[in-house]
Amino acid sequence: MTHNYTLQVQDPDAHTQYAWYKDLAALGSSGTQYQLINLQVSNNGVYFAEATDGNGCHGQSNSIMINPETLSLFIPDVFTPNGDEVNDYFQILGLHLFAENELTIVNKRGKLVYSVKNYNNNWDGENQPDDIYYYLLKVVTSDGVATTYKGHVYIKR
């Protein structure tokens, strides 16, 4: 399974030349008529951009490690919907990387308490009591590959 990423130089300057590197090997550089500001990536590696301004000064971007073979999610096992605006929602990090998703949550007795397609990290527990709940999260990549995650989340107000 291969996923394409676009790496981009933020706030490019028209007088600056850019070069992209993967694992310290040059991938290409801008010239006077072409700026390599964006880079399509589909291979594992550590990528970074180097900028050279009109005075010959060099600067390097932060590096980013790409592993397209593994799209990862972070599914929390607790959230605290107490209205303090900190951790008030069941937020699944990385969910935006998937083309489709479906989330189902049941209580300990198996009663459905929440179900939605294309979840937007906005479930606040809907006045459910403090307890452990079980989730089933189905995600689909843009390539149509489906994966199901099962687990539990604790609501603590």
What is the spatial distance between Cα 133 and Cα 51, in angstroms, rounded to a whole number?
Answer: 49
Q: What is the pLDDT of residue 153?
A: 95
Phi and psi, residue 151, nearest 5° = 180, -165
pLDDT tens for the chain, 157 residues long, are 445 566 666 666 667 777 777 777 777 655 433 345 566 665 666 667 777 777 877 776 655 656 554 556 788 889 999 988 888 999 988 788 788 999 999 999 999 999 999 999 999 999 999 999 999 999 988 778 888 999 999 999 9
SS3 assignment, position 95: helix
Residue boundaries of the structural domains of the chain:
5-66, 78-155
H/E stretch holding 149: strand 146-155
Distances (CA, A) of 6 to 9, 23, 68: 10, 17, 12
Contact 75, 137 (CB under 8 A): yes
Which bin fits 113, alpha (ψ -120 to 50), beta or left (φ > 0)? Answer: alpha
Residue 145 carries which side chain, given as an amino acid letter?
V
Neighbouring CB atoms inside 10 A of 119's CB total: 21
Contact 6, 38 (CB under 8 A): yes
Which among 41, 37, 93 is positioned nearest to 65, based on CA atoms?
A: 41
What is the spatial distance between Cα 41 and Cα 47, in angstroms, rounded to a whole number?
Answer: 9
Q: What is the pLDDT of residue 60?
A: 64
Give the CATH H-level superfamily of domain 5-66. Answer: Immunoglobulins (2.60.40.10)
Q: Do domains 5-66 and 78-155 have the same CATH topology?
A: yes
Q: What is the pLDDT of residue 114?
A: 98
**Residue 52 burial by CB count (10 A; 0-12/13-18/19+): exposed, middle or buried?**
middle
Q: What is the pLDDT of residue 101?
A: 95
Domain 78-155 CATH (choose: 2.60.40.1220, 3.40.190.10, 1.20.1300.10, 3.40.50.10490): 2.60.40.1220
Confidence (pTM): 0.57
